[in-house]
Amino acid sequence: MSDAHDVARARALLRDARRLLVFTGAGVSAESGVPTFRGAGGLWKSFRAEELATPAAFARDPRLVWEWYAWRRTLVAACAPNAAHVAIARHAAAHPGTTVVTQNVDGLHQRAAADVAAHARGAAPVVALHGTLFGERCVRWPACPTRGALAPAVDASSVDTLPRCPACGALLRPDIVWFGEPLDPADLDAAFDAARGADACLVVGTSAVVQPAASVAAAAAHAGAPLVEVNAEATPLSALATVTLRGRAAEVVPAVLDRGRT
Ligand code: BV8
């Protein structure tokens, strides 16, 4: 856990923010049991991204790609939001100017926000830049508009059992942004608008290597927002941070966000 002085500095920077940008990566979900991408035991360690998270991979072997995503869905469905997700959701509910932008596709920020909204004011929106593990779209999208939570249970035992678009009969694919694919322009606009307008930025658990997502937090810093980084290790964003807190997200994020802590 980072030293008390740095935690106090971070709390002071975030406490009065009226337009806080929270930017997260896989590290915020690590303590929920969701494997990260590039750390020890990371998802990409077992598979090469090019093999699975690209349109070419899906065209080449849709069954293998669906097998990987169906396995991840089962794994993530058994996970729960951790104290970092909850602290962020509580802060966002109490501070309406907060925007949460995540690279994660696990839906844990959204679940934490829904849990908090059930007991407090409405949930702040979560911008999920890379899509969702729990949704699909037609492989012909946007030519074919089919998109949504259409196939909760996917049988990837053979190509013949893979989910098909109810409208046109083409394959359904995970509603995720793969490498080499553009992000949704509406999501990018929302993220960079929030970054340029932020009066503080909290970055949690990202290696900051994937673009254009990693530029969102940098945009906030370049627009003058003080940046607080919570990470287990140094990243390319550390040089832009006003305060860097080394430690586990589920321990550090509540310490810097929870109201009433001294
Ligand atoms: C695009 C969905 C252009 C998949 C993901 C060559 C060919 C094509 C493109 C490129 C290329 N070279 C570069 C590019 C650009 C590419 C890119 O950035 N590549 C990188 C690898 C160099 N980007 C793209 O392809 C993007 N699209 O450029 O399109 C375009 C434009 C117009 C028209 C056509 C094309 C799309 C990128 C999106 C890829 N999809 N995910 C899936 O999930 O299955 S990216 C993937 O990495 C995940 O989404 C993940 O979120 C993201 C970033 O990783 P992190 O979240 O940071 O996770 P990581 O494990 O790396 O780090 C975890 C961190 O947490 C670590 O720092 C660790 O220390 C810390 N940590 C761990 N535990 C804890 C902790 N911290 C605190 N507490 C803990 N307990």
Domain of 141, CATH number, reads: 3.30.1600.10
Residue 189 shares a structural domain with residue 254: yes
Q: Which residue has the higher pLDDT, 210 or 3?
A: 210
Torsion from C-alpha of 138, 152, 178, 114, nearest 10 degrees: 120
- Summarised one tens digit per residue, pLDDT across range 151-209 is 999 999 999 999 999 999 999 999 999 999 999 999 999 999 999 999 999 999 999 99
- State the closest ligand 1 atom to the C-alpha of 36, by its place in the atom list counted from 1: 60
Residue 103 shares a structural domain with residue 168: no
Residue 65 shares a structural domain with residue 142: yes
Q: Is the pLDDT of residue 117 over 60?
A: yes
How far, in Å, CA of 9 to CA of 16, rounded?
12
Residue 87 shares a structural domain with residue 188: yes
Per-residue confidence band for 119, with pLDDT thresholds at 50, 70 and 90: confident
Match 């606009």 to its residue by tokens. 189
How far, in Å, CA of 159 to CA of 141, rounded?
19
Residue 252 shares a structural domain with residue 141: no
Per-residue confidence band for 212, with pLDDT thresholds at 50, 70 and 90: very high
pLDDT > 70: percent of the chain:
92
**Tokens at 191, concatenated:** 């993220």
> In whole angstroms, what separates CA 102 from the centre of its chain?
3
pLDDT reported for residue 198: 98
Residue 138 shares a structural domain with residue 29: no
Residue 126 shares a structural domain with residue 136: no
Q: Is the pLDDT of residue 261 over 80?
A: no
> Of the candidates 176, 204, 232, which is a domain's last residue?
176
Residue 20 shares a structural domain with residue 40: no
Centre of ligand 1 to C-alpha 24, Å, is 11
What mean pLDDT do residues 220-242 have? 97
Structural domain of residue 58, as residue ranges? 35-78+131-176
The answer to whether 30 and 249 have CB atoms below 8 angstroms apart is: yes
Match 């106090």 to its residue by tokens. 8
173-204 exposure pattern, b = at least 16 Cβ within 10 A, e = fewer: bbbbbbeeeeeeeebbebbbebbeebbbbbbb
Centre of ligand 1 to C-alpha 101, Å, is 14
Least confident of 18-32, 35-49, 212-226: 35-49
Q: Is the pLDDT of residue 262 over 60?
A: no
Ligand 1 site-directed mutation target among 2, 37, 51, most atoms within 8 Å of CB: 37
Catalytic sites, residue numbers: 130
Residue 143 shares a structural domain with residue 73: yes
> Of the candidates 140, 159, 176, which is a domain's last residue?
176
What mean pLDDT do residues 21-42 have? 88
Task: State the CATH number of the domain containing residue 254.
Answer: 3.40.50.1220
Residue 103 shares a structural domain with residue 220: yes
Q: Which residue has the higher pLDDT, 9 or 125?
A: 9
Q: Is the pLDDT of residue 118 over 80?
A: no
User: What is the domain count for the chain?
Assistant: 2
> Of the candidates 145, 176, 207, which is a domain's last residue?
176
What mean pLDDT do residues 83-102 have? 95
Centre of ligand 1 to C-alpha 161, Å, is 30
Residue 56 shares a structural domain with residue 95: no
pLDDT reported for residue 42: 66
Residue 65 shares a structural domain with residue 138: yes
Whole-Å CA distances, 133 to 53, 69, 151, 213, 262? 12, 7, 11, 17, 38
What single-letter DSSP state applies at residue 231? E
What mean pLDDT do residues 80-104 have? 96
What mean pLDDT do residues 40-61 have? 79
